Amino acid sequence: MTGDASTKDTRQPRKPNEIELKQLTQFTSLQYKFSSSSIENEKEAANQVSRAFIAVFDDYCTGSPGWAGKLMVVVGDGSPGQYEVYTWQDGKLERQEKE
């Protein structure tokens, strides 16, 4: 590769941006009730997200049956088996079910 933008390998992940981290924190806060207090729940969700290993693939594409779009992989700090995959549908973060 020569290093110019036109030859960039789009299969390589990047770190999530602030908006994506906020979406993940909000999603986590709603899905997992860490506390009955919404403020404490949001704080714990932010803590969980900050400790996770996260990669975003902007141009993920399957071979068949064919799906393409932005995808985020989140691996928890407890073990490699603690992972979740998210996609965006109409701008909304959605967790994908494990097959």
pLDDT single digits (tens) 44-63: 999 999 999 999 999 998 88
The answer to the question of residue 6 being in a domain is no
User: SS3 for the chain, per residue?
Assistant: CCCCHHHCCCCCCECCCHHHHHHHHHHHHHHCCCCCCHHHHHHHHHHHHHHCEEEEEEEEECCCCCCEEEEEEEECCCCCCCEEEEEEECCEEEECCCC
Tell me the three state secondary structure of residue 91: coil
19 has a pLDDT exceeding 50: yes
Residue 2 lies in a domain: no
Per the structure, the count of domains in the chain is 1
- Does the pTM of the predicted model rise above 0.85? no
pLDDT of residue 74: 97
Structural domain contains residue 47 = yes
The two three-digit tokens of residue 8, written as one number: 């960039």
Based on C-alpha coordinates, what's the Rg of the chain? 15
- With respect to residue 85, please indicate whether it lies within any of the assigned structural domains: yes
Inside any domain, residue 98: no
When pLDDT is averaged across residues 17-22 and rounded to a whole number, the result is 97
Residue 99 lies in a domain: no
Residues counted in the chain: 99
pLDDT of residue 10: 72
State the residue range of the domain holding 60. 13-93
Q: What percent of the chain has pLDDT over 70?
A: 92
CB 59 within 8 A of CB 73: no
- pLDDT, tens digit (0-9, with 9 covering 90-100), for 61-86: 888 778 899 999 999 999 999 999 99
